[in-house]
């Protein structure tokens, strides 16, 4: 064997590098999640190290570089020639955004439980697919176990079942493909489009639902956006009139998508009312629970998704509120038999008949052919900690959202976007002497300055056409202390913006 290949597959080298990498990640975890800097990593970009109460400095959550600078850094790194893998890993860590940092409060991707990351390493190493049973016996069986567990938690009966797939975007598209197969009058899969199809969804839904309709060739007419109320929930009383109009326009509406919850503000649609409407009109009822479907595990908050059990299909991203590394998404069906109808392709080299409902050949029902063992990441968490881990996490983070809202309300110069029911909190700074036209600009400035300073990571959104700062409290080490520090920092930045 060539020396290079020998080296690439050397078991002892793997052992050594593995130990070193895990040590490095554990030190990193220690340094960012509680503000203990055991290993003060090099400072990068404009990011600032901050003092923690124990007198040590805390690494920034993000080391901001302009895109062209980041690209140049890596191009130069490659040009230097071959190097040590551990040095590379160290550099990757230090230049990445740190989701485990207690001041990470940005997007909805979770700081994964470290055990989930270990399971991910195992999955990558074994590289077992799950399209066919022989290539992923454990993977397929665990996928079944995990999806059954989720179905039970929703409150579904034995006839339910599901699959795991690569992300909420793909899962929503897959669910809508099933809906098309089950509800459309024409055999679109076999004969192409007949009548123009459409779905109805809240105007606040994630953009991937809109994208799914367009991918399926329905165009902009095919996505009917239902206006929302002052809590950003779908106005279900408008469904009837939108359906009547769609019919008059020659559209065949096949589905309604409920959001549980919306991305911008964390609003849960009234799923019971959507279900009633779908039953009455023989429409597919899909719930996009990518973020907030996880409340099925929370004794305190499951009422928010009341009616989720009435859906035909439900999507839950486990890399959002269920602590698993990305991508790990469940697409669940109230009647599992429907999932076998989505795709109908022969693949003689994989399975003998597409018609047989073989749970153990997951590729029959997923868009992906090769797919890593996503199931082991979630199964490892359930096996080790039980599902009460999910209950504790979801309940804590949603509680924290409410506490943060109270802190915001106590400060005269801040305005809450909407009373949060989840861990998504939108607010803005509104100085008394700043005209309304300047408030958007001020908040965009604050958000950009925060990113460039690197101490906190938050994002922004638009509500009723105004710019709001947006936090998603994903980190279980974030407390009111960090949230107060964030508000202090925003006040400082706002004062700075007005030139003192």
Ligand X SMILES: Cc1ncc(COP(=O)(O)O)c(C=O)c1O
| The one segment of 19-27, 38-46, 163-171, 245-253 that binds ligand X by CB under 6 A | 163-171
- Is residue 256 within 8 Å of 239, Cβ to Cβ? yes
317 lies in the site for ligand X, by CB under 6 A:
yes
Among 112, 136, 162, 168, binds ligand X (CB under 6 A): 168
Of 90 and 206, CB closest to ligand X: 206
Compute how many residues bind ligand X; rule: CB under 6 A. 13
Of 143 and 204, CB closest to ligand X: 204
Among 98, 183, 242, 291, binds ligand X (CB under 6 A): 291
Q: Which residue is nearest to ligand X (CB)?
A: 168
Mask: binding to ligand X, 86-115, rule CB under 6 A, as x and -?
A: ----------------------x-------
Site for ligand X in 7-46 (CB under 6 A): none
For the stretch 252-278, what's the b/e string if a residue is b when 16 or more beta carbons lie within 10 angstroms of its beta carbon? bbbbbbbbbbbbbbbbbbbbebbbbbb
| The one segment of 56-64, 250-258, 284-292, 340-348 that binds ligand X by CB under 6 A | 284-292
| The one segment of 161-169, 371-379, 427-435, 453-461 that binds ligand X by CB under 6 A | 161-169
Mask: binding to ligand X, 218-257, rule CB under 6 A, as x and -?
A: ----------------------------------------
SS3 string of the chain? CCHHHHHHCCHHHHHHHHHHHHHHHHHHHHHHHCCCCCCCCCCCCCCCCEECCCCCEECCCCCCCCHHHHHHHHHHHHHCCCCCHHHHHHHHHHHCCCCCCCCECCCCCCCCCHHHHHHHHHHHHHCCCCCCHHHCHHHHHHHHHHHHHHHHHHCCCCCCEEEEECCHHHHHHHHHHHHHHHHCCCCHHHHCCCCEEEEEEECCCCHHHHHHHHHCCCCHHHEEEECECCCCCECHHHHHHHHHHHHHCCEEEEEEEEEECCCCCCCECCHHHHHHHHHHHCCEEEEECCCHHHHHHCCCCHHHHCCHHHCCEEEEECCCCCCCCCCCEEEEECCHHHHHHCCCCCCCCCCCCCCCCCCCCHHHCCCCCCCCCHHHHHHHHHHHHCCHHHHHHHHHHHHHHHHHHHHHHCCCCEEECCCCCCCEEEEEECCCCCCHHHHHHHHHHHHHHHHHHCCCECEEEEECCEEEEEEECCCCCCCHHHHHHHHHHHHHHHHHHCCC
In whole angstroms, give the CA distance from residue 267 to residue 418. 9
| The one segment of 285-293, 362-370, 427-435, 444-452 that binds ligand X by CB under 6 A | 285-293
Instruction: State in angstroms the smallest separation of the CB of 316 from ligand X.
Output: 10
Among 47, 208, 246, 497, binds ligand X (CB under 6 A): 208
290 lies in the site for ligand X, by CB under 6 A:
yes
Of 114 and 167, CB closest to ligand X: 167
Instruction: State in angstroms the smallest separation of the CB of 292 from ligand X.
Output: 8
Among 204, 269, 288, 312, binds ligand X (CB under 6 A): 288
Among 122, 152, 167, 403, binds ligand X (CB under 6 A): 167
| The one segment of 38-46, 232-240, 283-291, 340-348 that binds ligand X by CB under 6 A | 283-291
Site for ligand X in 324-383 (CB under 6 A): 329
Instruction: State in angstroms the smallest separation of the CB of 497 from ligand X.
Output: 30
How many Cα atoms within 13 Å fall on the side-chain side of residue 128? 24
Among 130, 147, 236, 263, binds ligand X (CB under 6 A): 263
Of 109 and 434, CB closest to ligand X: 109
Of 286 and 428, CB closest to ligand X: 286
Of 271 and 290, CB closest to ligand X: 290
Of 104 and 359, CB closest to ligand X: 104
| The one segment of 127-135, 287-295, 429-437, 460-468 that binds ligand X by CB under 6 A | 287-295
Note the residues at the interface with ligand X (CB under 6 A): 108, 167-169, 206, 208, 259, 263, 288, 290-291, 317, 329
């Amino acid at each position: 064997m060539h020396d290079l290949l020998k080296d690439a597959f050397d078991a002892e080298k793997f052992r050594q590098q593995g130990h070193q990498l895990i040590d490095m990640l554990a030190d990193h975890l220690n340094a960012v999640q509680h503000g203990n800097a055991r290993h003060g990593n090099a400072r990068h970009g404009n990011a600032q190290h901050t003092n923690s109460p124990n007198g040590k400095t805390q690494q920034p959550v993000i080391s901001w570089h302009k895109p062209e600078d980041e690209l140049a850094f890596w191009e130069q790194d490659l040009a230097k020639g071959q190097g040590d893998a551990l040095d590379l890993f160290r550099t990757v860590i230090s230049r990445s955004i740190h989701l485990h940092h207690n001041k990470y409060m940005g997007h909805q991707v979770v700081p994964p439980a470290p055990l989930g990351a270990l399971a991910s390493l195992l999955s990558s190493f074994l590289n077992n697919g799950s399209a066919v049973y022989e290539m992923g016996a454990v993977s397929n069986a665990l996928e079944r176990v995990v999806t059954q567990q989720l179905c039970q938690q929703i409150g579904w009966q034995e006839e339910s079942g599901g699959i795991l797939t690569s992300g909420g975007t793909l899962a929503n598209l897959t669910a809508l493909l099933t809906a098309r197969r089950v509800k459309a009058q024409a055999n679109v899969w076999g004969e192409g489009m007949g009548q123009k199809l459409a779905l109805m969804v809240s105007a606040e839904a994630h953009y991937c639902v809109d994208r799914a309709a367009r991918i399926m060739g329905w165009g902009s007419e095919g996505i009917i956006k239902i206006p929302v109320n002052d809590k950003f929930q779908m106005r279900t009383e408008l469904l009837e009139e939108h359906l009547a109009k769609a019919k008059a326009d020659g559209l065949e509406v096949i589905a309604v998508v409920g959001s549980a919850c919306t991305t911008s503000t964390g609003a849960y649609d009234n799923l019971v009312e959507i279900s009633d409407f779908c039953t009455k009109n023989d429409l597919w009822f899909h719930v996009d629970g990518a973020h907030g479907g996880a409340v099925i595990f929370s004794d305190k908050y499951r009422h928010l998704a009341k009616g989720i059990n009435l859906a035909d299909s439900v999507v839950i991203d486990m890399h959002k509120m269920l602590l698993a590394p990305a991508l790990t998404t469940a697409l669940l069906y109230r009647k599992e038999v429907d999932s076998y109808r989505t795709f109908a392709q022969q693949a003689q080299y994989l399975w003998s008949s597409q018609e047989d409902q073989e749970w153990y050949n997951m590729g029959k029902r997923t868009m992906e052919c090769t797919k890593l063992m996503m199931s082991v990441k979630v199964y490892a968490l359930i096996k080790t900690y039980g599902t009460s881990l999910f209950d504790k996490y979801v309940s804590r983070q949603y509680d924290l959202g409410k506490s943060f809202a109270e802190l915001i309300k106590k400060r005269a110069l801040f305005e809450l976007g909407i009373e949060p029911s989840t861990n998504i909190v939108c607010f803005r700074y509104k100085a008394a002497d700043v005209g309304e036209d300047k408030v958007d600009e001020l908040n965009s400035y604050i958000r950009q300055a925060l990113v460039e300073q690197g101490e906190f990571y938050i994002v922004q959104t638009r509500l009723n056409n105004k710019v709001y700062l947006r936090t998603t409290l994903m980190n279980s080490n974030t407390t009111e202390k960090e949230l107060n520090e964030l508000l202090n920092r925003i006040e400082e930045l706002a004062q700075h913006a007005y030139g003192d």
